[in-house]
Structure 1
Amino acid sequence: MNKNGKTIGLLSVVVVAMVGLSFAAVPLYRMFCEATGFNGTTQRADAGATHTVNRIVEVRFNSNVSPELPWKFGPEERSVKVKLGETRLTSFFAQNLSGEDITGVARYNVTPEKVGKYFVKTQCFCFDDQRLEARQRVDMPVYFFVDPDFASDPDMADVNVITLSYTFFRARTSQAASDGFRARAPQTAQIAAPAAPVASSASR
């Protein structure tokens, strides 16, 4: 192979590598945010905390809808007070105001952003795309807890209020539209309640 051929081959490898990295960048960034709580990204878990701590925080709920999505969306309650480690159920509603079936996707974060690594959801409508039929309204539960380790972090000493925010956007792909949430209005999404946390001596 001559010099020009080697150069072309090398450039081809570089181009392929750059394309691969561009596709990997988004999921890698998402994984980084979920692992560190960066930018207010919350955590996910399969079960609740193993113990509770006698410190109470207030969790407020905020909702937004992208202008391109003809939905109504909001929390059933504006705020709740929870003990650290306590698994709590809250609920949101969504209604498709249009005459066509639409799939939406929710993006979420918490503020202050530093709380993200301690705010854990075990079940949430935001884990999957949600498909609503024309004029359909659904209730969407969320199970969450605040990690008991929150209490031992000096950076959290000044935090007594946490705001959980959701913004719904219109899903972009036809695949998302076919894989979404298909409930019959009006009804509640079927989400199994997580096991109750085991109380420790700190919570008695």
Structure 2
Amino acid sequence: MTTRVIVWRHGNTDWNAGGRVQGQTDVPLNDLGRRQAAEAATLLAALQPDAIVASDLRRAADTAAALAAVTGQTVSHDQRLRERFFGAWQGLTTAEVAAQRPEEFARWRAGEDVVGGDVETLDDLGKRVADGLQDAARLAPGGLVVAATHGAAARQGIGHLLGWPIQQVRTLRALQNCHWVELTSDDDRGWQLSAYNVGAFSDRPVPPPV
């Protein structure tokens, strides 16, 4: 029995557009993000998901709600699918972080696990998101679950599920807004990556996954 999980990044926000670090700040979708969510929802609804789960942050919850509006399903929410907590960085642009907290910024750019500034470690992030995705899969064994989450959370959670070391996870390109990853899980092969960065906006720039 194979279970499929779609890990779906939320639509665009004004902070995405401005290169501002969101982390767990509850920033809503902008007009573009709402259009992205509606268009992606049409594509995902055609896959006939059996369950929908989302981070409780509005940008992910409202992205999931666009799919639920098409399918008639309800969305369950899981705080473990929240974005990485970026501590003192939240609300700053990446340029401001680089100028004001250069040592931390250098560690982040290098992909180090511990950055400082109360930024959540990659290991902690990967574990909590992977736990959330595991439980999401249990909502529809043998079926398809869509989990709406965030850029850094998606990448690190997926890497943890697949058993990849941090440096290997860094080889994954950042997910574009409203793009998704497809994972499969079965008793014989465990978790496998089936598709990555799928969506309707492949020609658009990739905002940083923060």
Q: TM-score range by the shorter chain?
A: under 0.3
Between structures 1 and 2, the one with greater strand share: 1
Higher relative contact order (CA 8 A, sep 6+): 2
- Normalised TM-score (structure 1): 0.24
| Structure with max Cα Rg | 1
